[in-house]
Structure 1
Amino acid sequence: MAHSHSHAVVDSGPPRRGLAATLTVVVLAIAAVAIAAMVVLWPDSDQVPRDKNPYGGQGVSTIGAKVTGVDPFDCNSGGEGPDGMPQVAGDCAHITATTDEGTATFDLDAARFKAGIDVGDEVKILRIAPEGQAVSYEFLDFRRGVPLTALALIFSVLVVVVARWRGLFALAGIAVTMLALTEFILPAFLAGESPLPVAIVGSTVIMIVVLYLAHGISIRTTSALFGTLVGIGLTGLLGYGATAWTNLSGVGSENDQVLVATVPGIDLSGVVAATMVIAGLGVLNDVTVTQASAVWELRALQPAMRAGSLFASAMRIGRDHIASSVYTLVFAYAGSAMTVLLLITAYQQSLGTMATTEELGTEIVRTLVGAIGLVLAVPVTTAFAVLLAPRGEHDAPTASRGGSYAGPVAG
């Protein structure tokens, strides 16, 4: 009976209707403010740049094709290009492919050919048909729809099989996140809205929905939510200050320059700060949920533990989680920026020299700001969880053991 007794205090102990009602009002108020801010920041459809597809000009269309022939030829590739940058040495290739319209032919430069293309590959090509001129074709990309869809299905099935309902709700959370990104955050950036408020508001709405979907409606989840929201706010402030302090303009690559030329009204410096908030959401959510769960489990094991001792015990768990999460942020960047890191090594430049460049410096600042926000969120979430967790005999003067409450934010 000892096991059921300890969990009675934590999970189904004295009905905490007053606390549950108060937290429900607070969460609903936060959600209402976030939604109202989203409505204010929501861009008008005519403010979002449209028809900026560089492959959608007059007479230009994208079609599917299947490679039927690969014929290498010497194109004198190598040395330096006209811009002084090194060129890939080697053969180019003459490609023959079949389309719904018949046969298409086009050439691949040495870099693309060296990357690999074989007979049977499914590709996307540009059909260029200027008025009054012959039709020509250019390679655009490989067709990856089938393998990407298959991987997504495998991932979804495994998540549901292993995590069951929690996994299904987590997938629903991913759908909500993608909807918020594509329908609100990205269009608002393009429409010239201030990126940081957009990111904070969008992230707040995402986290409210995702946390309760994936982890259930409870006081424990609410404590994690409070810590997450504080983390979002701190990361936003740090990102704003760090972006200005390090003079990050957001123009660090050719794609950035193309974006500025395509959407002149976009605030790329603000987008850099905003991405610091969005990039850290996943790890921040992981840490805050874990800390809240740690406090609840510790309270279940020792119902009479005093608040100070509970906080100290949970922080010992949190310090280990901080260390592993910081590594996660660094490894995630190292993996995504591998090409840049390889170039640094090939150029025999010191990391200190390259770290101050716009492209690499942006990622370093993003990682550091995300890590700082993450570290600060741990004690904040732990404090919220200790405050809201069911109290044991030393913390509560009276406690009837019966009853349960399944209200909107029950423990």
Structure 2
Amino acid sequence: MIDLHTDQKQPVRRLLLRWAPPLLLLLVFCVFVVRINAVDKFGLVSREGQTFEKGVVTEIIQDNLQYDGSRVGEQLVRVEMKTGARAGQTLEMTSSSGYLFGAGCTVGMKVIVMQSVSGDSTVASVYAQDRETVIYVFAGLYLLVLCLVGGKQGVKGALGLVFTFFCILFMYLPLVYRDHSPFWVSVFICTITTIVTMYLIGGPTMKTLVATGGTVAGVCIAGLTATAFSAASGITGWNVSDIESLLTLWNTNGIQVGGLLFSGLLISSLGATMDVAMSIASAISEIHTQTPDISRRELFRAGMRVGRDMMGTDSNTLILAFAGGSISMLVLDYAYDLPYLQIINSNNIGIAIMQGLAGSFGIVLSVPVTVLLAVFLYTLGRKTPAA
């Protein structure tokens, strides 16, 4: 006789077995995040009385637009304040023509105003165009397209992306600020985000375990390669272009700024390595499912054939990414016709080369590591047939 009551409980039990441990870990994770973010920041710059508020340009009193389309000097504009102590009031202020600060104001433009209020006195200037809404709209559109095109897997990928971004903001930054090693903090962040993302995509399966192990191994290989390159070339995290500003953090908070370069390398190589590891794990899982009697050697060869096809494109991923980020510097070097020895031995070029090559090392070497791990786990417990 079939016990219908027991049969009805089975889906509930399976659901609890899958989601109860992750939800418990999520609760512990949230408590940890709240604790590490309870930190008092050292005031590097005095901003007493200074705030950034929203406003809308209502009138251009004096423009700085030239006949050739360029802007020289400052604009004099009137801005209706939308937030802050002067909300609802219209203030007269300037907007510089700099490329880093200010904005080419037009009537109706939404702007961010930097203002200092002291009693009835107000000093204000246009800081930048208000881009907050645009950023959120495009980010939302990307997540929407990802979910529509990817379906259920796209939704899981979007959740993984949001979680990764959350970890960088609310785990990596406070831990580094608390004087923990940036390198090991990035290893921790990469491991946590990989586990969560892979679990969302693959569930509690052997494929998820294989992809997670391959990703973590690839990221660590990239970090070790960068460390070896640093020791051989003399390039360290102290050679970055913004070291003067970072030294202030080192002197006031003791932050290990020398490790920021390598920790950033690990985080930047995470996405590409994760893609390679999951693709290989999925391919080997499918091969093993369709041909369960395949030998370990043949399974390894099949996995390597899949991995080699991916190397052809993924090996260029980070090199092209870092080359694209350095394109302005390369154009300047070309325009000034700098000598080859000066260019190849400069710190900026060396850092870009180190980042691209170390990350690519991690991607390429994650292929055999993932294949070996997959072959071992998928065939674990199988008796080796007689020759």
Scaled by the length of structure 2, the TM-score of the pair is 0.78
Q: Per-residue deviation at 1:351?
A: 6.4
The answer as to 2:273 corresponding to 1:292 is no
The one-letter code of the counterpart of 2:47 is: G
329-338 or 295-304: bigger deviation: 295-304
Q: Per-residue deviation at 1:136?
A: 2.4
The one-letter code of the counterpart of 2:154 is: G
Q: Which residue of 2 aligns with 1:49?
A: 41
- The 1-side partners of 2:293 and 2:142 are apart by 42
Q: Secondary structure at the match of 2:56?
A: strand
> Is the contact made by 1:43 and 1:193 (CA closer than 8 Å) also made in structure 2?
no
Q: Which residue of 2 aligns with 1:3?
A: none
- The 1-side partners of 2:306 and 2:249 are apart by 48
Q: Which residue of 2 aligns with 1:128?
A: 116
Deviations 1:211-232 (Å, cap 9, x if unpaired)?
1112222111211111122223
The one-letter code of the counterpart of 1:106 is: T
> Is the contact made by 1:252 and 1:358 (CA closer than 8 Å) also made in structure 2?
yes
- The 2-side partners of 1:74 and 1:156 are apart by 39
- The 2-side partners of 1:190 and 1:354 are apart by 34
- The 2-side partners of 1:315 and 1:382 are apart by 7
> Is the contact made by 1:123 and 1:140 (CA closer than 8 Å) also made in structure 2?
yes
Q: Which residue of 2 aligns with 1:182?
A: 169
The answer as to 2:348 corresponding to 1:359 is yes
Identity of aligned residues (%): 23
* Unmatched tracts of structure 1, length 5 or more: 1-23, 76-88, 398-411
Q: Secondary structure at the match of 1:135?
A: strand
312-321 or 104-113: bigger deviation: 104-113
Scaled by the length of structure 1, the TM-score of the pair is 0.73
Q: Per-residue deviation at 1:344?
A: 2.4
The one-letter code of the counterpart of 2:41 is: P
The answer as to 2:304 corresponding to 1:312 is no
- The 1-side partners of 2:280 and 2:304 are apart by 8
- The 2-side partners of 1:357 and 1:379 are apart by 34
Paired residue total: 346
Q: Per-residue deviation at 1:381?
A: 0.1
Q: Which residue of 2 aligns with 1:204?
A: 191
- The 1-side partners of 2:340 and 2:313 are apart by 24
The one-letter code of the counterpart of 1:221 is: T
Deviations 1:128-172 (Å, cap 9, x if unpaired)?
34579x532233222111111111221111111222221212222
Q: Per-residue deviation at 1:126?
A: 0.8
Deviations 1:366-403 (Å, cap 9, x if unpaired)?
22111111111110101111222369x99679xxxxxx
The 1:243/1:106 distance shift into structure 2, 3 A limit, reads same
* Unmatched tracts of structure 2, length 5 or more: 1-17, 82-86
The answer as to 2:86 corresponding to 1:96 is no
Q: Which has the higher contact order (CA 8 A, sep 6+)?
A: 1
Deviations 1:261-308 (Å, cap 9, x if unpaired)?
145312121111111211110001000011111212333454443221
- The 2-side partners of 1:229 and 1:112 are apart by 38
Q: Which residue of 2 aligns with 1:80?
A: none
Q: CA RMSD, aligned part only?
A: 3.5
The 1:179/1:110 distance shift into structure 2, 3 A limit, reads closer
The one-letter code of the counterpart of 2:236 is: L
